[in-house]
Amino acid sequence: MTDEITIRPATPGDAGAIFHQRRAMFEDVFGALGPDDAATMETTFIPWVRRGLTDGSYRGWLACNGDGHVVAGGGLIVHEWMASPLHPDPRRAYMANVYTEPAYRRRGIARRIVDTIVAWCRTEGLKVVWLHASPFGRPLYESLGFEPTNEMRLRLG
């Protein structure tokens, strides 16, 4: 293992690695997934993210160690949104799947990933980035200027 961490854009071939990170992210927050839930999420998420990485509707960034192994990552979806007085541009960027392997935590890698994603948003002229933070991620997002919102949610059906 070397300490030299580089960040690169994800490609469709990274779909499996992103699924691994997403599953591990949920398990960190909610506990282990049952085998059925894990299998269903795998068969749902991997084709979804592979298609998104292919057509650009999902963008990912991965942090790799000196051996080229993926050790952290994050992703972004751009949504259409109605204009508001503060933001006439009908686009909002939603950040997801920010995750670091346990052995690589406390080194600022997630911060580098999030900085990379926010910088990409600025380059694209995206004015608003939003996300749902885990308890682990919240201090990082607060330190970067993210603020809590007035969101409410309903489970249908």
Partner 1 sequence: MVTSADDEITIRPATVADIPDLVRLRRVMFEAMDHDDPVKLDAMEEAASAYLAGAIPAGEFHGWVAVTPAGEAVSTSGVVIDQHPPTPANLSGQIGYVMNVVTAPEYRRQGLARRVTQAALEWLDGRGIQRASLHATEMGQPLYESLGFEPTTNEMRLETGK
Distance CA 60, CA 101 (A): 16
Strands of the 59-64 sheet, one edge to the other:
6-9, 59-64, 70-80, 91-100
Distance CA 148, CA 41 (A): 28
Identify the residue among 20, 77, 111, 116 touching partner 1 (CB under 8 A). Answer: 77
Please identify, using beta-carbon distances, which residue of 9 and 90 lies nearer to partner 1: 90
Identify the residue among 50, 75, 99, 110 touching partner 1 (CB under 8 A). Answer: 75
Distance CA 75, CA 77 (A): 7
User: Is 109 an interacting residue with respect to partner 1 (CB under 8 A)?
Assistant: no
Please identify, using beta-carbon distances, which residue of 17 and 133 lies nearer to partner 1: 133
Distance CA 115, CA 110 (A): 8
Distance CA 113, CA 136 (A): 15
User: Is 56 an interacting residue with respect to partner 1 (CB under 8 A)?
Assistant: no
Contact positions vs partner 1 (CB under 8 A): 22, 26, 30, 33, 37, 40-41, 44-45, 48-49, 57-58, 75, 77, 79-86, 88-90, 94, 96-97, 118, 121-122, 126-134, 138, 141-142, 144-157
